[in-house]
Chain A
Amino acid sequence: MTKPVMTATALERHYDVSGGWLRASRTLKAVAGLDFALYPGKTLAVVGESGCGKSTLARMVTMIEEPTAGQLTLDGEELVPDNWASHREAVQIVFQDPYGSLNPRQRIGAILEEPLKINRKSMSKEERQKKARDMLALVGLRPEHYDRYPHMFSGGQRQRIAIARALMLDPKVLVLDEPVSALDLSIQSSVLNLLVDLQERLQLAYLFISHDLSVVRHVADEVIVMYLGRAVEKGSRDAVFSAPYHPYAKALLSATPKADPGGAKERIKLQGELPSPLSIPDGCPFAPRCWKVQDKCRAERPVLPDLPHAAACFFPENGGEPA
């Protein structure tokens, strides 16, 4: 197998939350003990519900925030705040909301050229413009769009612009934070196709963050299911979707509505809601909502085994290896 472009080992990010007057501040573990590797031309999807640490992960990978513990490497070199500046251009991000992530006062040309102006100071104006126009063509926009403002575009076109901007510095890793969840269905498919095309052409490594399992199933090569900051299951797309080991992954899959009326509905109903990330239970974080919980789950925390398809569970489903 090819060498990974980015690896993470035991990645953690904690936040201190002030407890208020006369109360000790507490620690919120947004991401705890996460391992993964990104390969060129491959997509790693991270799925989970709100508050599971997906976006915190994106902020660490894009070097916006420093991990509290653990190690992040890019091309074999460890990323520390001192060398962030020289590595940032290799990791770019596309945000969820294309209406909020483009400056309404800048023309598309200026938006695309800004990364070059800052990072490629030696580049001439003509070269910059040429590169921006080439990029417009690459993401399926027309050359005359160069002089327009963001408000003149639809949501799908704006997301194309956001993708073009992320590609201006020829990154190796693209973090896609819910890239299509703000788009309509008919537009969503064309943006997904664009992402597939770009990945094949530029051999990009994608970190695809989403809560929409039908989209993940379509784009992902590898999947990590997160729950309260921890990876509860990881594996290849086919393995996770056809035979999920972790009860949470199974429940998540069964809760996703399928566009097939009359199809067999076997929905696992989870009781209750996500516990507050400030008071994660001592044992398995999923124990309070799990239907097959036993005393062991409440007492000990299961660890994710180091296998190609693994779940952090003592009593996994579908014949998985127990933690």
Chain B
Amino acid sequence: MALLRIRNLSVEFATATGQFRAVDGVDQDVNESEILAIVGESGSGKSVSMLAVMGLLPWTATVTADEMTFDGQDLLKIDPAARRKIIGKDMAMIFQEPMSSLNPCFTVGWQIREALRKHLKMGRQERQTRAIELFEQVGIPDPEKRLSAFPHQMSGGMNQRVMIAMAIACKPKLLIADEPTTALDVTIQAQILDLLAKLRDENGMGLVLITHDMGVVAETAERVSVQYAGQKIEEQPVMPLFRTPHHPYTSALLDALPERATEKRLPTIPGVVPGQFDRPAGCLFSPRCKFATDKCRTDPPPPLGPDLGYARCFYPLNVDERVAS
């Protein structure tokens, strides 16, 4: 039984110019002690779908789904009080910008102890001990002293560690990391990714890594879900995704990586991600796809079977190779 199970999740935002569908029929499972990466470009709905799971969307959003359960609890019908008991305890999230996600008015120690007080009802001394323990776990040197520091007194990498310490304070079953390293330097990024993988090994939690960096995906994730314009267009374990992508978008995205380039000119994907007003009738990728036919332009393709990576495509790539191998 999956830890998090989502079926046919859609999120619509009420905007001044009408409804905008940011997430469109996404199915997603996350298992215990698994690292799932959700990749996509900006506007692909990768963050929004996870914010819907956390219940952190603004009132303009309408969330609909056939099923959205976490650890046996139905997240669609849950009342706010019960949700607050889960959020931050069994299900926690790390945000992209540590600097703007921490409260500048309180010390980081206060902020980390708050979670322990609210969710675990720990006593004062116990909280202090646990906070020091958490800081040591995430690799913050001199934890006693750092607990009384304010966010502005620490670097971005240190603040991201504080965010992680806060998120894992109550030993969550599921940790959602939304672009946890985008704002950080590469040497610090390597430290943070190693830390997240280590915590997964120690605590057996499910980890959802939202990112746009294919390198991070390749080095960290076990299973990868690719999103495009709100739809999940492909999902595969990490190895076959990079070797034999089935959806043309995944394939084109991988070809556009500078490190895979063989010539001075990089292969490009023409056009841009469809917006609110130019959403195609058929396959969402059809205007930019070099394999598109008339059928692609008129009929939306349903997801294929698991052996073809659930690709939403009428003409999946790398099919013969799989049969042959």
- Chain A contacts to B: CB under 8 angstroms: 49-50, 154-156, 184-190, 192-193, 196, 211, 213-215, 217-219, 251-252, 255-263, 265, 267, 269-270, 272-274
Contact = CB atoms under 8 A, between A and B. Distances in A.
A186 B256 contact: yes
B266 A189 contact: yes
Nearest to A181: B182
Contacts of A214: 215, 257-259
A261 B190 contact: no
B258 A217 contact: yes
Nearest to A157: B272
Nearest 10 A-B pairs (CB), nearest first?
Answer: A257-B215, A49-B185, A218-B258, A189-B266, A184-B41, A189-B256, A255-B190, A186-B269, A259-B214, A190-B268
B17 interface: no
Contact of B158 (A193, A196, A213, A273): A273
Interface stretch (B81-89, B129-137, B216-224, B317-325): B216-224
Given A189-B267, A214-B258, A259 B191 contact: no
A189 B186 contact: no
B260 to A, nearest CB: 7
A217 B213 CA distance: 17
Interface string B194-218: 1000000000000000001111111
B256 A185 contact: yes
B219 A218 contact: no
A185 B185 contact: no
A256 B213 CA distance: 11
B265 A252 contact: no
B309 to A, nearest CB: 15
A265 B197 CA distance: 15
Interface in B251-305: 252-254, 256-261, 264-270, 272-273
Interface string B161-173: 0000000000000
B272 A187 contact: yes
A252 B259 contact: no
Contact of B272 (A49, A154, A196): A154
Nearest to B189: A255
Contacts of A193: 265-266, 268
A211 B41 contact: no
Given A185-B256, A196-B265, A259-B242, 10 more contacts: A189-B256, A189-B268, A190-B266, A190-B270, A193-B268, A257-B189, A259-B218, A260-B242, A265-B219, A269-B190
B187 interface: yes
Contacts, number: 119
14 contacts: A49-B187, A185-B256, A189-B256, A192-B258, A193-B268, A211-B185, A217-B259, A251-B187, A252-B187, A255-B187, A255-B190, A257-B190, A258-B218, A259-B214
Contacts of B259: 214, 217-218, 258-259
Nearest to B239: A261
Contact of B41 (A185, A260, A265, A274): A185
Nearest to B219: A257
B149 to A, nearest CB: 14
Contacts of A213: 186
B212 A184 contact: yes
B272 A260 contact: no
A156 B256 CA distance: 14
A211 B238 CA distance: 26
Contacts of A196: 264-265
Given A192-B258, A214-B215, A49 B186 contact: yes
B213 A257 contact: yes
Contacts of B266: 189-190, 192-193, 218
Contact of A186 (B213, B252, B265): B252
B242 A261 contact: yes
Contact of B238 (A188, A261, A270): A261
Contacts of A274: 155, 185
A50 B261 contact: no
A255 B181 CA distance: 13
B151 interface: no
Query: Among the interface residues A187, A219, A261, A263, which one has the most CB atoms of the partner chain B within 10 A?
Result: A261
A259 B217 contact: yes
B230 interface: no
A258 B219 contact: yes
A293 to B, nearest CB: 16
A219 B41 CA distance: 22
A50 B219 contact: no
Nearest to A256: B186
A252 B254 contact: no
A196 B217 CA distance: 28
B26 to A, nearest CB: 19
Contacts of A252: 186-187
Contacts of A156: 272
A286 to B, nearest CB: 11
Contacts of A184: 41-42, 212, 273
A221 to B, nearest CB: 11
